[in-house]
């Protein structure tokens, strides 16, 4: 991943992000439901974005001190402030937090470096809760663009096994990973692409088309996608990976 490009993309999207972040909100609530056990006292929201999770975390554990971190300054400003940092290289001491929380961020990062940092900053016996996206994400859009040209138009994400491997390499225990598919619906392909742009996810990738997409090619994409239309609109599937783990006491 091109980190400067990712940062610029999310900085540009900060003002529009919340208007299109329904998936992020749904996943946030699903991830929160998976956390049990004693109330944490010190929480890191790693990759906080505009800060939606901060309110939910503070409601669930009103006595906890929550630190927000994100590497896009504009996103952090929308969240009300925090620490501007890359979650692959956190500026925090070892054993600082007893809950590491990260909602739909690790898919933009190197999973092994991210999990190593998560484990480093967690206290022994404390917990990690993380979500990511899997390779079936936006499969309908990928199929619609298939063979339209030599460029990759849809982002590719890693399978759940890669997240499990990263947790194991970081020395975490009690790793529990599940996947489920969430589906949103849009009135048109253009509306879906506008939503991705609002999230900052349309400008990320190594092989994006450098110029405009031809009218005939675009019509083909729309026609292909229309074959999937449902009563609620055009479906957009997201393979959601939910992961919890524990840092061993010794």
Assign 154 a pLDDT band (cuts: 50, 70, 90).
confident
Q: Inform me whether the pLDDT recorded for 132 exceeds 90.
A: yes
Over residues 18-73, the pLDDT tens digits come to 999 999 999 999 999 999 989 999 999 999 999 999 999 999 999 999 999 999 99
pLDDT of residue 93: 97
All domains of the chain in start order, with CATH? 3-246 (3.40.50.150)
Q: Inform me whether the pLDDT recorded for 155 exceeds 60.
A: yes
Give the N- to C-terminal CA distance of the chain in Å, as an integer: 34
Q: Inform me whether the pLDDT recorded for 149 exceeds 90.
A: no
Instruction: Say what percent of the chain tops pLDDT 90.
Output: 82
Select from 124, 121, 127 the least CA-distant residue to 96.
121
């Amino acid at each position: 991943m091109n980190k400067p490009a990712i940062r610029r993309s999310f900085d540009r999207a900060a003002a529009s992000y919340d208007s299109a972040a329904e998936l992020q909100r749904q996943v946030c609530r699903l991830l929160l439901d998976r956390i049990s056990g004693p109330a944490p006292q010190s929480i890191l929201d790693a990759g906080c974005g505009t800060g939606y999770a901060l309110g939910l975390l503070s409601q669930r554990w009103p006595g906890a001190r929550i630190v927000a971190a994100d590497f896009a300054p504009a996103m952090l400003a929308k969240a009300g402030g925090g620490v501007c940092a890359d979650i692959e290289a956190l500026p925090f001491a070892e054993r600082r937090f007893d809950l590491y929380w990260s909602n739909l961020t690790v898919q933009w990062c190197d999973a092994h470096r991210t999990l190593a940092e998560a484990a480093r900053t967690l206290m022994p016996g404390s917990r990690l809760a993380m979500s990511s996206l899997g390779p079936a994400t936006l499969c309908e859009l990928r199929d619609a663009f298939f063979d339209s040209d030599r460029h990759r138009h849809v982002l590719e994400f890693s399978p759940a096994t890669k997240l499990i491997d990263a947790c194991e390499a970081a020395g975490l225990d009690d790793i529990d990973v599940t996947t489920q598919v969430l589906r949103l619906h849009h009135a048109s392909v253009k509306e879906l692409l506008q939503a991705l742009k609002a999230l900052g996810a349309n400008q990320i990738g190594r092989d994006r088309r450098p110029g405009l997409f031809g009218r005939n090619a675009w019509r083909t994409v729309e026609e292909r996608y229309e074959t999937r239309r449902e009563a609620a609109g055009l479906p957009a599937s997201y393979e959601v990976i939910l992961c919890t783990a524990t840092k061993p006491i010794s």
